[in-house]
Amino acid sequence: MRFDYLCELGNPKLLAWTEEDGAQFARLFPEGGSSRERRPCPDAITVSRRELAEGGPELWSVSVPVALLRRMPFTLGAHWLRCNWVSATRGAVLWREAWSRLSSAGVPWNVPFDANDPVNTPRDLNGSDPKVAEALRGAVQDLRAKGIPLDVPLGDKQAEPRGAERIGIPGCTEGEGCFNIISTRRDEQGNYDPFTGSSFVMAAGFDSRGRPSGSAILSYSQSENPESPNHADQTRLFSQEQWLPMRFSEAQIKADPSYSRRVVTGRR
């Protein structure tokens, strides 16, 4: 599978796009172009539509490069896509709905799973299989029916409520290929409600002298009290892919700008 394009969707008759759909795809894939010619590109996603104009049908197509993947970003693997979906990622919702449909129909791999080569199989999506175009068509129809733009940022639909605020949550499921696992339930409006996944996340290590260092984040924040300043602070950081430093020494702890010390005495 090439890194400059994904796959060939094939039959343009399977897809019917509005002008707004085309504009949204153009925003998603600015490196793609529109053309009335079908240029040889066997491993490119070519999104096409027929429009009935005076003089007969006219073919309009957009070649979809991997620019979207690099913004997500994806790493193409053997039988999954390694990706890191952030709250601002555009195209993730469309991809999720298309991949869900394709997974249910059975992903048409050119090279099926081989127990003797589990690392490298299955691989190579057969983009000419009608199921690929059908999955994308179903996803587009679903988003269109719900009034959701094709290029909606993930965080607009996948979010955690904190009072009147909705905080966009990055990540996706293992089936979609994310390292940052977030499992959701989808409501009738197409919103994804996170219910499990990354919670306390820590990255730690030691320097050449054996001194520890690290960062961590608590995705749902420390306090359940809506009046607390710690009710949503770390959730916002998680949304922005930011970390808090881990404090290991007394000096590091006291260097924290929020550090305070209170001595409590009394009878037990």
Q: How confident is the model at residue 3 (pLDDT cuts 50, 70, 90)?
A: very low
- Main-chain dihedrals φ then ψ at residue 104, nearest 5 degrees: -65, -35
Domains of the chain (ranges plus CATH)?
12-186 (1.10.1400), 199-255 (no CATH)
- What is the tens place of the pLDDT at every residue in 52-85? 333 333 333 333 333 333 333 333 333 333 455 7
More confident call, 104 vs 11 = 104
The mean predicted confidence, pLDDT, of the chain is 75
CB atoms within 10 A of CB 85: 26
Angle between helices 92-105 and 130-145 (to 10 degrees): 130
Q: Look up residue 131 and give its amino acid.
A: K
Q: How confident is the model at residue 87 (pLDDT cuts 50, 70, 90)?
A: confident
End-to-end CA distance of the chain: 68
Q: Look up residue 94 and give its amino acid.
A: L
- Do the Cβ atoms of 128 and 109 come closer than 8 Å? no
CB atoms within 10 A of CB 139: 21
Across 4-13, 25-34, 136-145, the highest mean pLDDT is recorded for 136-145
d(CA 19, CA 51): 10
d(CA 198, CA 180): 6
Q: How confident is the model at residue 90 (pLDDT cuts 50, 70, 90)?
A: confident
| pLDDT at residue number 248 | 80
User: What's the whole-number mean pLDDT along residues 242-248?
Assistant: 88
- What is the tens place of the pLDDT at every residue in 120-179? 999 898 988 999 999 999 999 999 999 999 999 999 999 999 989 999 999 998 888 788
Helix (H) or strand (E) holding 111: strand 109-111
| Percent of the chain whose predicted confidence (pLDDT) is above 90 | 46
Residue 210 has pLDDT above 70, yes or no: yes
